[in-house]
Amino acid sequence: MIVLSFLTFAMAFGHVAHAQGSKIGFVNTERILRDSAPAKAAQTKIEAEFKKREEEIQRLGNNLRTAAQKFEKDAPVLSESDRNKRQRELANIDADLQRKRRELQEDFNRRRNEEFATIIERANAAIKRIAEKDDYDMILQDAVTVNPRADITDKVIQALGTK
């Protein structure tokens, strides 16, 4: 019933909008966060911030692989207590590596979200300016289907690149 009500509203709005000559635009937020100059700059900045930690995790992973290979080679000649000790050491190193990877991913995502929130704020301001300047009645973000004539994403990306 709710869907029917929404569809009825949408159809009625479409008739009213068409009759009054309303102007509706669409913006693809995903494209803005992928293709705009500020988004590309933010991505480069974040990658540079996390490069050292990523390299450290890579180094730890390589060390773990080397230690595991050495253990496999040495295991037949080790006493049971030495074998158990080295297995525990490898398990502890692996757990530490997994924790560091998880922390890195969480920190990376947090920073990315911070940077992208700023870009979204700037994009929304640009959308409002474009809507006022070009006399849009409504701007939709992330619709399921859109006629390319209504897509103003390129204008927003261009506006973000000029500031």
- Per-residue pLDDT tens digits of the chain, which is 163 residues long: 333 333 334 444 444 344 467 899 999 999 999 999 999 999 999 999 999 999 999 999 999 999 999 999 998 998 999 999 999 999 999 999 999 999 999 999 999 999 999 999 999 999 999 999 999 999 998 788 888 888 999 999 999 987 5
| CA separation, residue 115 to residues 106, 119, 142 (Å) | 14, 7, 20
Structural domain boundaries in the chain: 21-161
> What topology is assigned to 21-161 in CATH?
Protein Binding, DinI Protein; Chain A (3.30.910)
In this prediction, residue 143 carries a pLDDT of: 81
**For tokens 């409002």, what's the residue?**
128
Q: Which helix (H) or strand (E) holds 160?
A: helix 153-161
Give the residue ranges of DSSP H helices in 21-134: 29-35, 37-74, 80-133
In this prediction, residue 113 carries a pLDDT of: 96
Q: Are 142 and 33 in contact (CB under 8 A)?
A: no
Q: Are 131 and 139 in contact (CB under 8 A)?
A: yes
In this prediction, residue 136 carries a pLDDT of: 93
In this prediction, residue 1 carries a pLDDT of: 34
In this prediction, residue 19 carries a pLDDT of: 41
CA distance 17 to 26: 15
Task: List beta partners, residue 140.
Answer: 26
In this prediction, residue 163 carries a pLDDT of: 53
Q: Are 54 and 105 in contact (CB under 8 A)?
A: no
